[in-house]
Amino acid sequence: MQNNLIYRIPVLGRLSESNLSLFAGLLAALLTTGFAIWFLKAENEYVIGFLLALAVAVTLGVSRLGGLGYVGRAFSDHEKLMNGAAVCGVLALAAVFREDHFTLLMIAIVLLYMLAGLGLTIQFGYLGLVNLSGASFLGVGAYTSAVLLAHTAVPPLLVLVIGGVMSALVGCLLVLPVLRTKGHYSAVVTIAFAILFMSFLQVNDTLGGPQGLATGEMALFGWGFNTGIELENGFYGSFYLNYLLLALALLVIAFALVKRLERSWIGLSMDAVRLDETAAACYGLSIARWKVVGFTLGNFLIGMAGALYAMMLGFIAPANFSFGDSLILVSIVLLGGIGNPWGLAVAAAIVVILPEKLQMIQEYRFLLFAGLVVLVLLFRPDGLLPRGMRNYIPGGGARS
Amino acid sequence: MSASDVLLSCEGVTRRFGGLVALDHLDLEVKRGDILGFLGPNGSGKTTFFNVLTGIYDFSDGQAHFAGENISKHSAQAVYRAGIARTFQRSRMCLSLSLFDNIMVGNHKHLNLGLGFNLFRRGAFARDLEQRYEQARDLVRAFSPNLADRMSEAVGGFPMLDRRRIEICRALISQPKLLLLDEPSAGMTHEETHQLMGDILSVREHTPELSIIIIEHEMSVMERITDHCAVLNFGKKICEGTYQDVVNNPQVREAYLGIE
């Protein structure tokens, strides 16, 4: 690694290139957090419009000046610190909005969509299996948690895991026809499943039919999540804060595992299967094995996100898991940058928060996202934050 | 000659696509350390033979024994594990992956693919990676010292000659007993082809046990590197022998040039 380039910066004195990138990365994290707070607090639509324009202008400007390269290097060279900074950013948002139910709910939904997006990243980004029934697998997890919490005494934390397992099992059935398809035709199989699942929910009276089901709350060690936090010193936190923190914890674990998966021989195998099945088979890779493993792992993450989503909302109905929601999940992966977990953060924030803040576009949001996806595919075909080269050992070594 | 010198023996290998007989009762033997040239006009069944042998297509009839093992029912994966590695006519590389990644695709039979090892035993993984990286770089360096310094670059950025070299390295990293080269000179200039053949000959010097079957249209290449040649026409073997025997054979001249 070349650290011998030294820069002089008026206030900071001499900085090596590596430290400069770290500085740029931390600054970017700080500014993003500050911007997010400002944006989430804004009520007036003109202010929101101004902030959006500001964000686009600053990003383009910094990118022109080459500053984004440093931020990118910060994420590759100082990965642990930058991961920590991102988590601190979310915690800062949670602290600032601790009493604001709606904002906390939005942030928690962003985190859960990211968790589901990680599942899709394994399927779509690494294996090339287009899954257009993401919301259905979210639904499998959600309904599993609703039923288990209502009729059994299974501890809610275990319900999250069972939600993931159920979703993975349903995926194991669906993977049989998927294995018989090549290329993007898995999309057709999963669309069929999404429609089937929706009809199943709507006619099934045990699961509440079109009206849906009430869901029990999350609880840890006998402490129910649906009560807000009140401390003696006057601190009050909305009950959504509990869900947000748990979603963040799950996301951090899943994120680390997906990153490790990508940076391993398994990630390499999955990429090889996606890029050329015939060549992969001639080098001993079992195509079916990796498709099953990847599809199952992905659905597990999606199902787990669904289980927590249901507990947090307290009420679920088939309309929460429509084909449109599946499209939203896929558009998050496409917008963010196929195969790059960090891209999910940016895209999920845009896709979830923007329509809520700009109520006037709420009705047109599908139109807006479709337009956005088309624009991104035209001008940045690899997404807003394209996936980089595989770096097996973060921070360098012989391979950076 | 003793039987153990024969690495690959094919008897009556046949492949039919509906009514079309792409390979018609082909008999072939390859000895250890041999370089066999495969000649024949377009559509004569050369690539089909590779595809049948490597398990991409099923055998319609006949069988093949490789190192004492009957491989006619093997899947592509099993053929690779038995020790046959190949390159493709239309170079099939993962263009968006790095040079190192592409070579490691070829080393799958030696990789530990367990979830526990890859996700949780990261220290052991890092040591394994280090060792495999050195091994891959040594192999690449033998072809081109320049390439060995560019292990983490995407293969899509390399010219055709280097891609072919990388593709051959991908085939060689698993230390196969038999290497199948399907028109390695396709899409390259004369000079590049010459360099690549030099590389292949030097590989052979380092690993005298390695047998190679090469499909090629460049006759000068065949003359330079093969020990003997076989000529196919309409799926049938019409001639076998040394390069000189083959090019002087009237049937071969007829197949290539038509009747005078």
Which 268-327 residues of chain A touch chain B by CB within 8 A? 268-269, 271-272, 275-276, 278-286, 293
A288 → chain B, closest CA residue? B77
A287 → chain B, closest CA residue? B77
pLDDT for the residue A139 = 95
CB proximity A266 to B under 8 Å: yes
Q: Which of B80, B122, B151 sits opposite A284 (nearest CB)?
A: B80
What is the pLDDT confidence band of residue A25, given thresholds at 50, 70 and 90? confident
pLDDT for the residue A6 = 54
Widest distance between CA atoms in chain B: 70
* Residue in the block written with tokens 């949670």: A94
Q: Which of B79, B80, B152 sits opposite A399 (nearest CB)?
A: B152
Tell me the pLDDT tens digit for each residue of B238-249.
888 888 888 888
Chain B nearest CA to A221, separation (Å):
28
pLDDT for the residue B259 = 62
* B48 sits in which H/E element: helix B46-53
pLDDT for the residue A372 = 85
Tell me the pLDDT tens digit for each residue of A44-74.
888 888 998 999 899 888 888 887 888 888 8
Q: Which candidate in A264, A282, A285 is best for mutational testing of the B interface (most B CBs within 10 A)?
A: A282
What is the pLDDT confidence band of residue A8, given thresholds at 50, 70 and 90? low
Q: Candidates 1.10.1060, 1.10.3470, 3.40.190, 1.10.10; correct CATH number of A100-399?
A: 1.10.3470
What is the pLDDT confidence band of residue A396, given thresholds at 50, 70 and 90? low
* Strands across the sheet containing B69-70: B20-31, B6-17, B61-66, B69-70
Chain A nearest CA to B255, separation (Å):
31
Q: Are A349 and A110 in contact (CB under 8 A)?
A: yes
Residue B41 CB-density burial (10 A; 0-12 exposed, 13-18 middle, 19+ buried):
middle
CB proximity B80 to A under 8 Å: yes
How many CB atoms sit inside 10 A of residue B95's CB? Answer: 15
Burial profile B205-215: b = 16 or more Cβ within 10 angstroms, e = fewer: eeeeebbbbbb
Q: Which candidate in A266, A268, A276, A286 is best for mutational testing of the B interface (most B CBs within 10 A)?
A: A268
Tell me the pLDDT tens digit for each residue of B3-51.
568 889 889 889 989 888 888 888 988 998 889 998 888 888 889 999 9
ipTM: 0.89
Ordered by start, the domain boundaries in chain B are: 3-257
Say what percent of chain B tops pLDDT 70.
98
* A211 sits in which H/E element: none
Identify the CA nearest to B165 among candidates B76, B217, B146. Answer: B146
Identify the CA nearest to A339 among candidates A285, A258, A277. Answer: A258
Q: Which candidate in B86, B90, B113 is best for mutational testing of the A interface (most A CBs within 10 A)?
A: B113
Q: Which candidate in A265, A387, A391 is best for mutational testing of the B interface (most B CBs within 10 A)?
A: A265
- The DSSP symbol for B186 reads T
pLDDT for the residue A137 = 96
pLDDT for the residue A220 = 80
pLDDT for the residue A2 = 41
Tell me the pLDDT tens digit for each residue of A80-98.
888 999 999 999 999 898 8
Which 127-156 residues of chain A touch chain B by CB within 8 A? none
What is the pLDDT confidence band of residue B204, given thresholds at 50, 70 and 90? confident
B2 pLDDT higher than 70: no
Integer Rg of chain B from CA: 19
Between CA B100 and CA A275 the distance in angstroms is: 16
What is the pLDDT confidence band of residue A11, given thresholds at 50, 70 and 90? low
Cβ of A283 within 8 Å of Cβ of B111? The answer is no
Tell me the pLDDT tens digit for each residue of A214-263.
888 888 877 777 777 777 777 788 888 889 999 999 999 999 999 999 99
Tell me the pLDDT tens digit for each residue of A142-194.
999 999 998 888 888 999 999 999 999 999 999 988 888 877 788 899 999 99
Between CA A268 and CA A392 the distance in angstroms is: 10
Question: Is B3-257 a domain of CATH 3.40.50.300?
Answer: yes
Query: A283 to chain B: which residues are within 8 Å by CB?
Result: 80, 85, 105-106, 108, 170, 174
CB proximity A222 to B under 8 Å: no
pLDDT for the residue A42 = 86
B258 pLDDT higher than 80: no
How far apart, in Å, are the Cα atoms of B97 and each of A20, B8, B155?
28, 33, 6
Strands B211-215 and B35-39: parallel
What is the pLDDT confidence band of residue A123, given thresholds at 50, 70 and 90? very high
pLDDT for the residue B120 = 92
Cβ of A278 within 8 Å of Cβ of B105? The answer is no
Tell me the pLDDT tens digit for each residue of A271-292.
999 999 889 999 999 999 999 9
Chain B nearest CA to A6, separation (Å):
25
Q: Which amino acid is at A399?
A: R
- The DSSP symbol for B98 reads B
CB proximity A260 to B under 8 Å: yes
Ordered by start, the domain boundaries in chain A are: 1-96, 100-399
Cβ of B77 within 8 Å of Cβ of A266? The answer is no
CB proximity B101 to A under 8 Å: yes
Tell me the pLDDT tens digit for each residue of B151-180.
988 999 998 888 999 999 999 999 999 999
Say what percent of chain A tops pLDDT 90.
47
Average pLDDT, chain A: 87
Chain B nearest CA to A291, separation (Å):
14
A1 pLDDT higher than 70: no
